[in-house]
A and B are shown apart, each in its own frame.
Chain A
Amino acid sequence: MAEGTVKLTIDGNEVEVPRGTNVVEAAKKAGVEIPHYCYHPKLPIAGNCRMCLVSLGMPRMTPERKPEIGPDGKPVIGFMPAPQIACNTMAAEGMVVQTSTPAIVKARQGVMEFLLINHPLDCPICDQAGECRLQEFAVDYGKGESRFVEHKVHKPKQVELNAKITLDNERCILCSRCERFMRHVAGQDCLGFVQRGSHTELTCYPGQEPRTNYDLNIVDICPVGALTSTDFRFRQRAWFLKETKSVCPNCATGCNTVVWTREGEVLRQTPRDNEAVNQCWMCDYGRLNYKFVNDPRRLQQPLVGGRPADWQAALSKAVQVLQGAQGALAAVGSARAATEELFLFGKLARLLGADLIDCVPRQGEADHLLLNADRNPNSRGAELTGVAADPLGSRLSAIAQGVREGRIKGLLVLGEDLGKCGIGPELLAKLEALVVIDLLPNGTTEKAGVVLPGASFAEKRGSFVNAKGRIQRFNPAIPPVGEARPEWQILAALLRSLDPAQDYSTLEGVFAGMAQEIPALAGLSLGRIGDQGVELTTAAAAAG
């Protein structure tokens, strides 16, 4: 037994776990599922669902506090007469856990039956169907038939808990996960129980609904369809959705996410576990900010002189126009762009002789949990690839000044509306060359000679480096809309036209180039970043 660990046996499997591990987690390690509803690894223990009942035994001790040895030479195990909940039981040395004795099987069937007797037959209209623990555990651990022939208890349905969340009290199994989350994580004591016994209801006080930036996490943790996202209500069946691992692009925290899509449309986002970044939560602001991806106003075709053009023509025109302004060019990039894109952007800008390169800052108020004051997901990536001033954005006024004084005749813009940094339409009108890569039309695209439609975070691969120096990758959930292309491809094409020696034909190739030139990224690749990301200082130290 190593320091600070205990060895126990679960369904015949011996497993060693750190001291303080509960039996549900220990069982997971042993490859055994102990079903549960109210237990959540990040919340205080409630122990009310009774689904995780197991048979617990400890070695019997002699009066001298030594384990009693039986005729087979093994410690005699004394089992507790009643089943115990696994979530509130700490693994102990020599403990024996049985999760499927006939008594436990019956106990679990009993709990399942109790949960279902007053549960409404809402599956056909309930959003939770397909990702519902009541459904899953009923199949895995239930009896398969109901013996209840009485009238069910009726409670309020379709309650607007707040604008984001719909509550159905009949479906609620009173596990209290939502209540514990709001009190202990989100920090607003607004949810609680009223009435008593079988008539108990979850609710909030009138006028004191949840209003934190984390409310929607209770939809994630609700094991049933009692709390559902109003935004997602009735939009799609869970089993039709494609899941793509991604990273939230709405601030520098970089919460790990899953983007759920069907037929080219993003339908919702949920958090993905990453202990080092966001545990298992994400904020509502980031979660709900995906609608721009499928916004009908998305730029779907290249534009030359304001008119649709094909890619070949548009790229040629862009090269021509940029070469024309060579030496008198500045570049404004975006800290919302991927690191790979910013790497190519910097190369392109410097090739064109731009010595004023910067990105646009985006600051807000940080909250007590995840939301970072820096609303750009990749400020660190911009710094690493040398396309940001120090501090980021401090060169923008010089660029504006240059345009105003006519010293800067051309701008290469990646994903930003320059009206936000003091370069409005009147200044843009002075430029001879304005090439813009962006997603949605704005004041800058309107003035651009060439507009090249780019792809959102949900339509391409790439990486962000978060505020803590962690590089994380995201994946395409849908193909780029219309004829839009991932920015790295657009920038690689422009670069290739201007300098055939700089030929990046794959994203891996771009990353490899980055890893060679930027010490912090040495030895890394998109493959090595994996699904949980890599802390850059560690990686650099390991590689160097």
Chain B
Amino acid sequence: MALDVPAALSRQIDEIITHYPPEQKPAPALWLLHLLQEQYGSLGQEQVEWTAARLGIPAIDVWGLVSFYPMFTEKPRGKYHLKVCRTLSCEMGGCQGVLQAIQKHLGIGPEQTTPDGKFTLSTFECLADCGNGPVMMVNDEHFANLTPEKTTALLDHIAQSGLEEQPLPPVQPAHPAEKRLVMAKLSQPGYDGSLASYQAAGGYQALRKAVGMPPEAIVQEVIDSKLRGRGGAGFPTGTKWKFIDKKSGKPIYLVCNCDESEPGTFKDRVLIHRDPHLLLEGIAITCFALGAKVGYIYIRGEFPKAVAIVQKAIDEARAANLLGKNILGVEGFDCEIYLHRGAGAYICGEETGLIESLEGKRAYPRIKPPFPAISGLFNCPTVVNNVETLCNIPQIITNGGAWFAGMGVPGSSGTRLVCVSGAVVKPGYFEFEMGKLTLRQLIFDICGGLREGRTLKGVIPGGSSMPILTPEQLDVTLDFDAIQKAGSMAGSGGIIVLDDTTQIIDAALNIAKFYAHESCGQCTPCREGTLWMEKMLHRIKDGQGRPEDVDLLWDVADNIEAKTICALGTAAAWPVKAFTTKYKAELAQVIASGEGKH
């Protein structure tokens, strides 16, 4: 090991390695690479070989990680890494203008570094702050609501005075139509997310109640609550818990999916930064119900502050006997929660892709069967739940499953957080009782409608993977079944509004680029098809489209849909199919008008 790693860093690495079973050698790799990159600026051969030797894994596997996750770099970057989001809502908000301003101001293009070594520019995919776009991260700091002028001023300021720590944005005040239950505590004035704050607001009472219940009773409450997963798939949570194999003799794991990366979605960000104890309590109760002794929270790499915030909360909870060994004095109820950082891959939001990443590998989703409930993390029975889903658990225990099921509409119980971004006057995140509001009401009554003189083009109801709904389809209620009946899905709750200033070709191309970039590359249809769709849309945008391209796009999407290992293929196919079906005329127009150009 040619690298001379400082003693403190080495000790930190040694400690992190204890968070994973010792025989799972690659598992700590992403942590090591983050820390080494912070120390040395890049992950070249020395860092790769050091990591391989330290963990006892092949160097090719480490190189495979460095080259798979965009947050890692083999080559040195500038002192300040500018990461500008280029995904749909930010593009509609003007990120191209911000990018051009940066390029003009600094004289560098994407993946280039200024000669003085100060700035490197990158475009990044959705940074989960779509309501405040355009957004940019500079190293670990997050800047939102940018304009070209604000951006150049910011760059000058950083160049002169360095990068200052940015405070968390204030919590968005509740709209009268909201029913904030999950967000109840963090909306209270003066709430700071600390253990003291959380307990003063009644926190950890649910855990106290839970440890006095048989685990099966807890599972039954969640089944009775009819809670459906809040990550995107909407799978009944209690049912998922029931699948867990408790007889295998292997340890059971709970994994919290905080890889929020579905374009248009920015709700888990709020929960994890502002109310970490709510999540920890939800995890602790769930671990008790499942018989899991270890929970991992997979936090996307672009939420660096969440790591410190949640780790602090974990330390507070352990000190108060709310985590760790014999929790609340209950003999044998042990629960350790460890944090695991991602490094820039949307596919880590797919539960088995996440599991592979937790195991320290390239995030290649697994073929199923076997399913995680039987063989998941480290080939042990595993439940993967979304942040918001887990944040619902404490109140379900406190008030009972029936109480939760009594809210909402049949098929969609309780409340859920939705995010609105794009062409509305007042974007943001909201918590509504499910099914009590229509899309039309949300957009025009809650979010201030469209800007002056603009007309609605369409609404994507659940993250960019979901088929767009046309203006005629706006009277659908915000619940799983209604949106499914309308031919789309409630998905992650990321609602993106398009007005007439957005050309469908641009929206389609923006989304296609996202999926081509995020495809892990494992299976044929997605690997080849997503880039093909991007290239076709690009060619159409450049004025070289052909009339047959619209049907060809649909057919390529159709050949990807449901033929792949995981849902990313389908997620890439659905938007293309929806755009080429519902906006066929507009696309044909673009093609026709471009024909003269070549």
Contacts and interface: CB of A to CB of B under 8 A. Distances in A.
B60 A50 contact: no
A50 B531 contact: no
Given A151-B535, A194-B60, A200-B527, 10 more contacts: A50-B525, A50-B563, A110-B558, A153-B531, A196-B345, A197-B521, A198-B528, A198-B530, A200-B521, A205-B60
A198 B531 contact: yes
9 contacts: A48-B524, A50-B525, A107-B559, A114-B559, A147-B552, A150-B535, A189-B57, A193-B64, A205-B48
B521 A196 contact: yes
A238 interface: no
Nearest to B564: A50
Contacts of A46: 367
Interface in B506-542: 516-525, 527-532, 535-536, 539
Nearest to A198: B531
Interface string B30-71: 000000000000000100100000000111110110011000
Contact of A50 (B63, B369, B524, B532): B524
Contact of A110 (B68, B369, B559): B559
Interface string A178-199: 0000000000011111111111
A182 to B, nearest CB: 10
A174 B565 CA distance: 14
A120 interface: no
A193 B60 CA distance: 8
Nearest to B59: A205
Interface string A160-188: 00000000000001100000000000000
The 8 closest A-B pairs by CB, nearest first: A110-B559, A47-B367, A200-B521, A114-B528, A150-B535, A192-B60, A82-B562, A198-B531
Contacts of B142: none
B563 A111 contact: yes
A197 B367 contact: no
B234 to A, nearest CB: 17
A82 B524 CA distance: 16
B362 interface: yes
Interface in B557-588: 558-560, 562-565
A127 interface: no
Contacts of B564: 50
A191 B59 CA distance: 10
Nearest to A116: B528
A150 B64 contact: no
Nearest to B515: A197
Interface in B380-439: none
Contacts of A189: 57-58, 60-61
B562 A85 contact: no
Nearest to A191: B60
A160 B234 CA distance: 49
Contacts of A174: 521-522, 527
B565 to A, nearest CB: 6
Interface in B482-516: 516
B64 A192 contact: yes
Contact of B519 (A82, A147, A198): A198
Contacts of B525: 50, 110-111, 114
A194 B58 contact: no
A541 to B, nearest CB: 44
Contacts of B369: 88
A115 B559 CA distance: 12
A366 to B, nearest CB: 25
Q: From DSSP, what is the main secondary structure of chain A's interface residues?
A: loop
Contacts of A115: 524, 528
A49 to B, nearest CB: 6
Contacts of B552: 147
Interface in B72-119: none
Contacts of B518: 197
Which of B48, B559, B562 is packed against the most chain A CB atoms within 10 Å?
B559
A85 B535 CA distance: 28
Interface of B: 45, 48, 57-61, 63-64, 67-68, 345, 362, 367, 369, 516-525, 527-532, 535-536, 539, 552, 558-560, 562-565
Contacts of A107: 559, 563
A153 B525 CA distance: 15
Given A50-B523, A189-B58, A205-B58, A117 B532 contact: yes
Contacts of B520: 196-197
Contacts of B367: 45-47, 85, 88
A537 interface: no
A205 B63 contact: yes
B63 A196 contact: no
A206 B59 CA distance: 9
Interface string A88-106: 1000000000000000001
Contacts of A83: 562-563
Interface string A472-485: 00000000000000
B449 to A, nearest CB: 38
A193 B61 CA distance: 8
A88 B528 CA distance: 22
A113 interface: yes
B68 A113 contact: no
Contacts of B536: 150
B559 A198 contact: no
A2 B127 CA distance: 58
Contact of A204 (B48, B60, B535): B60
A198 B563 contact: no
A118 interface: yes
A203 B66 CA distance: 14
Interface string A41-65: 0000111111101000000000000
A199 B559 CA distance: 20
A117 B530 CA distance: 12
A113 B528 CA distance: 9
B524 A196 contact: no
A203 B60 contact: yes
A149 B48 CA distance: 39
B563 A192 contact: no
B535 A53 contact: no
Contacts of B530: 197-198
A49 B367 CA distance: 12
Contacts of B517: 197
A148 interface: yes
Contact of B63 (A110, A111, A194): A194
Nearest to B536: A150
Interface in A184-242: 189-200, 203-206, 208
A151 B538 CA distance: 12
A46 B48 CA distance: 26
Contacts of A173: 524
Contacts of B60: 189-192, 194, 203-205, 208
Most chain B C-beta atoms within 10 Å of own C-beta, residue among A191, A194, A198:
A198
A192 B521 CA distance: 13
Nearest to B361: A192
A272 to B, nearest CB: 30
Nearest to B535: A150
A38 to B, nearest CB: 9
Contacts of B559: 106-107, 109-111, 113-114
A14 to B, nearest CB: 25
Contacts of A51: 524
A109 B525 CA distance: 11
Contact of A190 (B58, B68, B524): B58
Contacts of A149: 539
Contacts of B562: 81-83
A104 to B, nearest CB: 10
Contact of A208 (B59, B64, B522, B563): B59
A206 B563 CA distance: 35
A140 B429 CA distance: 53
A194 B528 contact: no
A173 B528 CA distance: 10
A240 B562 CA distance: 42
Nearest to A49: B524
